[in-house]
Amino acid sequence: MNRPHLAENDQKSARVELISPGISDIQKSDMVAVEAPLELRLHDKPATILMRTPGHDLDLALGFLFHEGIISTSDQVLGVERPEPEHPDHDNILNIRLAIPSRAKSLDRFFFSTSSCGACGKKSLDAVAVQSQPVSGNFIVSPAFLSTLPGMLRPHQELFSQTGGVHACGLFTPGGELVCLREDVGRHNALDKVAGFALERGLHPLSPSILVLSGRVGYEMAQKAIVSGIPIIVAVGAPTSLAIDLCRQFNITLVGFLRGATMNVYTHPERVGV
């Protein structure tokens, strides 16, 4: 795969006026997470625009195409290109060439994907249906082990520490090794970036893995975990009803509201043992 130079500019400074009871108003600089469009082109034709935090754009593009069923291995990507350096949108365009060009036609999401929802531009109810097999992975983890994972993730959330404005997805082994962490203003983008990282390294399916999320679990996160073959999702936030239904249907253990030693196991509790 031919690789472009991928610039990373994931934060910027903003002038703010701090107002707080009991003290004089203060003007200061605040670091904020960057949200910018990434135009994804397939064989020079615009395919979709992803609102993302710049950085790991190639991971994002590969993971997005994988989760959409356009590619199944990184070998199916012949090359990735940026426009010429003098192009005004050089850092916000990726052109991807596939070994099977006809697959590009199956991507029907010609829309702006907002940073809050990865499924917002689907054109029909059929388009949100999950086409996959139930997830495998029969290992068992203890509640005590699961309770340590958010704390193991937190020191690596550098962008969150600087801005407080991004989500994180971490991929762990059953032994507690952090395989990959990605941050983004869009939680679904962060998961696409994790999947793209894994795809390049031939790690799919991710059946011996645990996905740790810094926020809630919605449909789009469950759907992407299913496609990636991840058997356990652990989140510090709440799941939605559709996420619970999908995880139950596709054999994923879903853990939410993980706070210290307390957690809710919504589906397939057989993977959580003493």
Digit-coded pLDDT (tens) for 169-190: 999 999 999 999 999 999 999 9
* Model pLDDT, residue 128: 45
| Residue 208 within a domain | yes
Residue 260 predicted with pLDDT over 60: yes
Same-domain pairing of 100 and 155 = no
Same-domain pairing of 197 and 261 = yes
Pairing assessment for the beta strands 232-235 and 26-33 based on DSSP bridges: unpaired
Q: Kindly tell me the number of DSSP H helices and DSSP E strands found in the chain.
A: 6, 13
Catalytic residue (one of 117, 120, 180, 247): 117
Same-domain pairing of 148 and 251 = yes
| Residue 212 within a domain | yes
* Model pLDDT, residue 106: 66
Residue 41 predicted with pLDDT over 70: yes
| Residue 24 within a domain | no
Digit-coded pLDDT (tens) for 205-240: 999 999 999 999 999 999 999 999 999 999 999 999
Q: Cis before residue 205, ω within 30 degrees of 0?
A: yes
Query: Which DSSP state fits 268?
Result: -
Same-domain pairing of 110 and 203 = no
At position 78, the amino acid (one-letter code) is L
Same-domain pairing of 45 and 163 = no
Q: How much is the CA Rg of the chain, to the nearest whole Å?
A: 19
Q: Which of 9-23, 91-105, 207-221 has the lowest mean pLDDT?
A: 9-23
Annotated catalytic residue 117: yes
Between 107 and 17, the higher pLDDT residue: 17
* Model pLDDT, residue 123: 54
Show the domain range for 46: 36-126
The band of 22, judged by pLDDT with boundaries at 50, 70 and 90, is confident
Digit-coded pLDDT (tens) for 195-208: 999 999 999 999 99
Distance CA 64, CA 57 (A): 10
Digit-coded pLDDT (tens) for 128-160: 456 788 999 889 999 999 999 999 999 999 999
| Residue 134 within a domain | no
Of 98, 126, 154, the residue that ends a domain is 126
The token pair that represents 211 in the structure block: 């996905």
CATH number for position 228? 3.40.140.10
Q: What is the mean pLDDT of residues 259-269?
A: 96
Q: What is the mean pLDDT of residues 255-271?
A: 97
Q: What is the mean pLDDT of residues 3-25?
A: 73
| Residue 67 within a domain | yes
CATH number for position 69? 3.10.20.10
Same-domain pairing of 162 and 45 = no
| Residue 2 within a domain | no
Between 27 and 45, the higher pLDDT residue: 45
Residue 125 predicted with pLDDT over 50: no
Distance CA 69, CA 223 (A): 12
Distance CA 184, CA 113 (A): 13
| Residue 131 within a domain | no
| Residue 198 within a domain | yes
> Considering its fold, how many domains does the chain have in total?
2
